[in-house]
Amino acid sequence: MEFFVVFLVSLFILMLLVVGLLFGRPPTYRPDREYVLKLMQGVEDRSTTEQAWSLFVHTPITHDADLEEFRRRCYKLDQGEVDNIASGPGLNGYLYDLKGRDYIKQLAAELQEFIRNAPLTVNF
């Protein structure tokens, strides 16, 4: 009898797992342009967490090639590969020092201009 109860409980848990895998969606990271702009602006005002910034910088964006280019430029800054900018870690809650924050502020202004000039698209 004990075997039968353990078998039924295990079968129930296994069926829940199968249903979850069949009807669940795969975990994907698909940030939109406004979210990325908010992240970049948050680097200046310390509202962006290190975890959110690291996820953005280190995860490729496959659904938007233009946004991927902005991510790559941020990644190059994070890795210290930007010419004439030797950015280091920031103090007092900042992710980068003053040079790095200025570079991110410049990128945020470019992204904001890009968003403003983007054509209106409607999905049918």
Per-residue pLDDT of 2-44, as tens digits, reads: 999 999 999 999 999 999 888 888 778 899 999 999 999 999 9
Q: DSSP label at 59?
A: S
Per-residue pLDDT of 77-86, as tens digits, reads: 988 888 877 6
The Cα 40–Cα 74 span in angstroms is: 9
The pair of three-digit structure tokens given for residue 31, joined into one six-digit string: 């940030």
End-to-end CA distance of the chain: 57
Residue 70 has pLDDT above 90, yes or no: yes
pTM higher than the cut 0.85 = no
Q: DSSP label at 119?
A: P
45-63 average pLDDT score: 92
The proportion of the chain whose per-residue pLDDT surpasses 70, expressed as a percent, equals 97
